[in-house]
Structure 1
Amino acid sequence: MKLIGKNIVIRNFEMSDLEQFLELVQDKNNHKLAGLEYTEDVDFGRDLLDMYCRRDGSYAIALSGNNKMIGIIELNKRGESTELLLTREMGFVVDRKFRHQGYAKEAVEMMINYGFTDLQLTEIWASTEKENPVPQNLLENFDFKYMYEADQALPYTGQHNLVKYYLLKK
């Protein structure tokens, strides 16, 4: 898949994205604020990139001028039952060096248009970490409505992760 915007391109991942991908997964802040996998292990990072290359609905956000990957955006299936087939959950993260420059806004807008126009979706969900107001404001600017908060506790770890869920209907 390839979507071309004014400043960015949303495209499939490539193994040549490894250096930029590692910057994302080696940043603990991305794990804390966006739920992105965290690792300092380069081999495991390469395996993660390979997984993203094969994962349906996961795409690289790249600069349109040089095709450099600067983030990740996803439209993940929410299930295979009939009532969920036309819904997706969107997630996104942009490398800290490229934040506050409008790239996430452009990527989210492109994915909303792709989801509702090309995929004929009826709903797009998004979740954010409770303590991460920046993507919450971005989603609300696109008319996503706050629906509920949930604790995504990890079994047997004692870790709790409060997230807010937002919904955009066609």
Structure 2
Amino acid sequence: MQRVRLKKGSYQVHFETPRLLIRPFTTTDLTDLYHFMKNPKLAAMAGWQPPTSRQESWSVLRMFIRSDEVFALMEKATQHVIGSIGLHRRVPSAIKPEDDSRELSFILGEAYWGQGLMPEAVNAILRYGFIDLKLQEIWVGHFQDNYRSQRVIEKTGFHFEYEFERPRLFSNQPPIEEVYYKLTAADFRGHY
């Protein structure tokens, strides 16, 4: 269920699922964010270098706080932030100039894998995107060997669109295959 709360003259979006609170990031999330971001396994799956200090995580946190595209995933039972989820604006093109398409991103701390938490969060953000934002399509991608993300994507109704070779993310890595999926508003209505 979605809740919208007034803060400083503007609305902030909050969602509640059976086990999660999905809300904007705050400065108090630094320790939790650093904890899950420093996992090298998670960083490799997401395509970033793990932070080497809380200060590096602070830079990311400030960016998340300023954004209206990224939300913290807070586990209700512990009140800890265990991941993030976002709906990012896509660059409009001459073919599709409207802002009715977004790209989904998600990350979850390793200790919480395999519990169905990410499909729960994705389903909530899809409802927000298609019902509240009136999006017409949501895209999502994963690196070819990230089977956990692939399973979440397929479980939540996305359809394969294409695959491409992404140039190196970092100088010491070879190019990597990335797989992309799409869910349309019509698909969403048929799936949910």
Q: Same fold (TM over 0.5)?
A: yes
Q: Which residue of 2 aligns with 1:88?
A: 102
Rg larger for: 2
Q: Which residue of 1 aligns with 2:180?
A: 165
What are the ranges of 5 or more consecutive residues in structure 1 without an aligned counterpart?
none
1:65 & 1:156 partners in 2: Cα distance? 37
Deviations 1:80-115 (A, max 9, x none): 455351000001011011111111010000011110
Give the counterpart letter for 1:166 in structure 2: Y
SS in 2 for 1:157: coil
SS in 1 for 2:97: helix
SS in 2 for 1:166: strand
Assess if the C-alpha contact under 8 Å between 1:78 and 1:84 holds in 2.
no
1:9 & 1:36 partners in 2: Cα distance? 25
1:75 & 1:124 partners in 2: Cα distance? 8
Q: Which residue of 2 aligns with 1:67?
A: 79
Assess if the C-alpha contact under 8 Å between 1:25 and 1:40 holds in 2.
no
* Pairing partner for 1:118 from 132, 139, 146: 132
Give, in angstroms, the shift of residue 66 of structure 1: 4.1
Q: Which residue of 2 aligns with 1:78?
A: 90
Is residue 2:119 matched to residue 1:105?
yes
| Aligned length, in residue pairs | 170
Assess if the C-alpha contact under 8 Å between 1:73 and 1:91 holds in 2.
yes
Q: Do the aligned partners of residues 14 and 142 (structure 1) sit closer, same or farther apart at CA in structure 2, a change above 3 Å counting?
A: same
Q: Which has the higher mean CA deviation after the structures are superposed, 116-125 or 34-43?
A: 34-43
Deviations 1:44-97 (A, max 9, x none): 111111111112200101112343101010100002455351000001011011
Q: TM-score, normalised by structure 1?
A: 0.92
* Pairing partner for 1:55 from 36, 47, 67: 67
Assess if the C-alpha contact under 8 Å between 2:119 and 2:156 holds in 1.
no
For the aligned residue pairs, the C-alpha RMSD in angstroms reads 1.8
Q: TM-score, normalised by structure 2?
A: 0.82
Q: Which residue of 1 aligns with 2:156?
A: 142
Give, in angstroms, the shift of residue 35 of structure 1: 2.3
Deviations 1:110-165 (A, max 9, x none): 01111000000010100011001121122112221111112221489364232100
What are the ranges of 5 or more consecutive residues in structure 2 without an aligned counterpart?
1-12, 186-192
Percentage of matched positions with identical amino acids: 26
Give the counterpart letter for 1:151 in structure 2: E
Give, in angstroms, the shift of residue 21 of structure 1: 0.3
Is residue 2:45 matched to residue 1:33?
yes
